[in-house]
Amino acid sequence: MKIDLIVGARPNYMKAAPIYRALKKYPTEFQCRLVHTGQHYDEKMSHIFFKELELPQPDIFLGVGSGLHGEQTGKIMISYEKEVLKDKPDVILVAGDVNSTAACSLVAAKLHIKVGHVEAGLRSRDRSMPEEINRIVTDGISDYLFTTSRDADDNLQQEGIPKEKIFFVGNTMIDSLNYYLPKAGEEKYRFNDKRILKRGYILVTLHRPSNVDSAETMKGLLETFATIQNRMPIIFPLHPRTQKMLATFGMDKQLAQMPNLIITEPLGYLEFLSLQKDAFLLLTDSGGIQEETTVLGIPCLTMRENTERPITVWEGTNELVGNDPKRILERTLAIIDGEKKTGKIPDLWDGHAAERIVEILRNMK
């Protein structure tokens, strides 16, 4: 079976790496090409993840780079179609909800190549998010829908997707978390700053257009961070989009003046995991971090009004706080004062999801 494993943006790499490893265990059964669209292309947004997750150089690099959504999606489709016409895979595997996921799925489906979607069925029910559109499109044309939780199975069935196509396998992002957690504990990945003490800091990430593209929202968030860092140090690795918007709004200096807020570049997988596992609290608008904190048992306040990962709220340590400064501050201070949410690890988030996916593919032949 010839398989194209697609990656494009930062959240794809840790979902794909365990699948790559699991496929490589059967060299006589699978011929796997690693395809990188180049949606993310920086050392810090891409290359470092390949090194740390022990992925080889991609077999195919499309090099599309940044752009408007239509432009980026279109460029990926044009380039990937050419590759597929040269050498046609039997199956492509895409992960998550980024533009690369939807673009490559569309190309494959139209050329009658089977599509396997890893992390299928998640729904925020918020179509103003580009990721929600990517999820709906990808799921609608996929042949194998690999889900991380039972609510995702329900979402898919409600949309008319036959049960036979849906496979509840668990979470490949958690496969990577479990696999790399011991390594992330090594001294060389520890963040070096005297203010950063185990369970004594808040880790912040922010990059959603709904949070960072508006000056007013950003201003409110920065004021909240200014108050919080008086109680507990904050570490804030800046996503390129956030960095760009802060500079555009002239707010970068304000951020630099907060004495207990430490700004860094985007961090590699292991350094970020090391910071995450020892944090007191995560304040984020990321998707994956909601899941990782649930497994690590660390409180997470998600600065969004909705989530496509409700299991992290029902069963895990996650709580939605939107982007209202007052609400974020109230909840953060309450947690600092001891009001912590505890949770459990969701079903099948056990480090073996990729192996289940590969077993399903072996039985398909």
Residue whose CB is less far from ligand UD1, 93 or 245: 245
Q: Is 352 a catalytic site residue?
A: no
The nearest distance, CB 43 to ligand UD1, in angstroms, is 9
**Measured from the CB of residue 4, what is the shortest distance to ligand UD1 in angstroms?**
18
In the stretch 271-290, what mask flags binding to ligand UD1 with x, by CB under 6 A?
--------------------
With respect to ligand UD1, which residue has the nearer C-beta, 208 or 356?
208
- Give the 3-state DSSP-derived string for 102-134, with helices as H, strands as E and coil as C: HHHHHHHHHCCCEEEEECCCCCCCCCCCHHHHH
Q: Is the dihedral of CA 6, 270, 247, 221 positive or negative?
A: positive
Considering the rule CB under 6 A, would residue 309 count as an interface residue with ligand UD1? no
Say how far apart CA 325 and CA 218 lie, in whole Å: 10
The tokens describing 118, both together, are 């890893």
* DSSP assignments along 263-304, one per residue: EEPPPPHHHHHHHHHT-SEEEE--SHHHHHHHHHT--EEE-S
- Does 43 bind ligand UD1 (CB under 6 A)? Our answer is no
Cα separation, 358 vs 26, in Å, equals 9
Residue 66, interface with ligand UD1 (CB under 6 A)? Answer: yes
Residue 11 touching ligand UD1 (CB under 6 A): yes
Binders of ligand UD1 among residues 223 to 242 (CB under 6 A) are 239-241
Q: Does 99 bind ligand UD1 (CB under 6 A)?
A: yes
The C-alpha atoms of residue 277 and residue 253 are separated, in whole angstroms, by: 29
Q: Does 133 contact ligand UD1 by CB under 6 A?
A: no
Decide whether 131 or 278 has the Cβ nearer to ligand UD1.
Answer: 131
Residue closer to ligand UD1, measured from CB, 123 or 239: 239
Q: Given 40, 117, 207, 352, which residue is catalytic? A: 207
Q: 98 or 348, CB closer to ligand UD1? A: 98
DSSP annotation string for 34-100: EEE--SS-SIIIIIHHHHHTTPPPPSEE----S--HHHHHHHHHHHHHHHHHHS--SEEEEETTSHH
Q: What letter does residue 163 receive in the DSSP assignment?
A: G
Do the beta carbons of residue 328 and residue 221 sit within 8 Å? yes
Member of 29, 42, 87, 159 binding ligand UD1 (CB under 6 A):
42
The count of residues interacting with ligand UD1 (CB under 6 A) is 20
Name residues whose C-beta falls within 8 Å of residue 158's C-beta, 6 or more positions apart in sequence.
none
Tell whether residue 98 is a contact of ligand UD1 (CB under 6 A): yes
Q: Which residues pair with 320 in a beta bridge?
A: 302
Stretch that binds ligand UD1, among 15-23, 85-93, 94-102, 113-121 (CB under 6 A): 94-102
Single residue of 1, 2, 33, 45 touching ligand UD1 by CB under 6 A: 45
Binding range to ligand UD1, per CB under 6 A, among 3-11, 137-145, 245-253, 341-349:
3-11
CA dihedral sign of residues 271, 260, 285, 35: negative
Q: Is 41 in the site for ligand UD1 (CB under 6 A)?
A: yes
Tell me phi and psi for residue 135, to 5 degrees: -65, -45
Measured from the CB atom, the residue of 132 and 175 that comes closer to ligand UD1 is 132
Would you tell me how many other CB atoms lie within 10 Å of the CB of residue 238?
A: 22
- Using the rule CB under 6 A, which residue among 37, 39, 105, 317 binds ligand UD1? 39
Q: How far is the CB of 75 from ligand UD1 (least distance, A)?
A: 12
- CB atoms near residue 168 (< 10 Å): 18
Residues with a known catalytic role: 207
Contacting positions for ligand UD1 (CB under 6 A): 9-11, 39-42, 45-46, 66, 97-99, 130-131, 207, 239-241, 244
